[in-house]
Amino acid sequence: MIFGLGRLFYVILLLINAVAVLSEERFLSRIGLGSSASQAPAFGQQENSTRSKVVQLIGAIQTLLRIPLIGINILVIVYELLLG
């Protein structure tokens, strides 16, 4: 099988790693996706723009997956070194 579950796992892991290491000051603010660029809606209003959702997703990935990503990356590296 050319594209199995293992390859899918690697692709997802690499994409999450790529989002987790994005620097807000150096990259995100230049393209208009910094947290300061997204204005928080007033109380009772909902913000449904795609840009605000992308900013929230990037922030959530950087906040919630920082520690688990370290462990998962270590496990993948050890797996690749031992079992190739």
DSSP 46-61: ----HHHHHHHHHHHH
* Number of independent structural domains in the chain: 1
Q: What is the span of the domain harbouring residue 22?
A: 5-83
> Which burial class, exposed, middle or buried, applies to 55 when counting CB atoms under 10 A from its CB (0-12, 13-18, 19+)?
buried
Q: Residue 15's pLDDT is what?
A: 92
Identify whether the C-beta of residue 17 lies closer than 8 Å to the C-beta of residue 73: yes
Q: Are 55 and 33 spatial neighbours (Cβ–Cβ below 8 Å)?
A: yes
Q: Considering the entire predicted model, what is its pTM?
A: 0.69
Mean pLDDT of 57-69: 86
Per mean pLDDT, which range of 6-10, 30-34, 39-43, 64-68 is the poorest?
A: 39-43
Average pLDDT over residues 35-61: 68
